[in-house]
């Protein structure tokens, strides 16, 4: 169980701070079940209420600074997504994003980056689906790493580039 003040990753909301634990001020919530009140880190006015025992949405602590540095150092070794069927590409992206796993975000970014470069070299446009999931993976990865590394979110990409090259 998380504590008040903890920073966690909560599904598609990304990094959130636990601001309260208990029954939320909503009608229809059954007694006896504790809820987390979460404040998304990058969406100031938003609030999320979720049962503490919610198993439908990924909830995990954010990575530590050491884990973030280890992930960044391993980026060259992290593989591309294996997409066996081109027609299922978007489904594969969705499933990978749902894991909330930073290593898998790197795989998405690397896969789509390589695909973008190939399409551009062939004189083709980048697909809207690729752009969408590339942006989602970057936002989620860079948002979490920024907090772990104690740098601005806008600085993460350059930080990674400096560490990897």
Q: Print the SS3 string covering 95-156.
A: HHHHCCCHHHHHHHHHHHHHHHHHHHHCCCCCCHHHHHHHHHHHHHHHHHHHHHHCCCHHHH
Tokens (6 digits) for 151: 């740098």
User: Is there a contact between 67 and 18 (Cβ–Cβ < 8 Å)?
Assistant: no
pLDDT at position 135 is 97
Q: What is the mean pLDDT of the chain?
A: 94
Does 47 have pLDDT greater than 90?
yes
Per the listing, tokens 């070794």 go with 77
pLDDT mean over 1-17: 96
Give the architecture-level CATH label for domain 63-164. Up-down Bundle (1.20)
Give the start-to-end residue ranges of the domains of the chain: 7-60, 63-164
Min mean pLDDT across 24-33, 64-73, 154-163 is at 24-33
Please tell me the distance from the alpha carbon of residue 146 to that of residue 138, in angstroms, as a whole number.
Answer: 11
The four Cα atoms 91, 93, 99, 104 give a dihedral, to 10 degrees, of: 150
User: What tens digit of pLDDT does each residue of 59-107 get?
Assistant: 999 999 999 999 999 999 999 998 878 788 999 999 999 999 999 999 9
Most confident of the ranges 27-31, 81-85, 139-143:
139-143
| Percentage of residues in the chain having pLDDT higher than 90 | 85
pLDDT at position 129 is 93
């Amino acid at each position: 169980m998380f504590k008040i003040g903890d920073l966690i990753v909560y599904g598609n909301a990304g990094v959130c701070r636990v601001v309260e634990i208990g029954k939320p001020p909503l009608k229809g919530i059954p007694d006896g079940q504790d809820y987390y009140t979460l404040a998304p880190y990058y969406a100031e006015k938003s609030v999320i209420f979720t049962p503490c025992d919610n198993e439908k949405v990924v909830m995990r602590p954010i990575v530590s600074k050491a884990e973030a540095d280890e992930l960044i150092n391993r980026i060259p070794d992290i593989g591309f997504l294996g997409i066996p069927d081109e027609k299922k590409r978007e489904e594969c992206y969705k499933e990978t994003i749902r894991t909330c796993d930073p290593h898998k975000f790197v795989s998405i970014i690397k896969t789509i980056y390589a695909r973008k470069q190939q399409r551009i070299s062939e004189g083709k446009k980048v697909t809207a689906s690729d752009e969408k999931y590339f942006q989602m993976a970057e936002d989620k990865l860079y948002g979490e790493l920024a907090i772990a590394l104690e740098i601005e979110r806008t600085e993460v990409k350059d930080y990674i580039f400096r560490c990897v090259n």
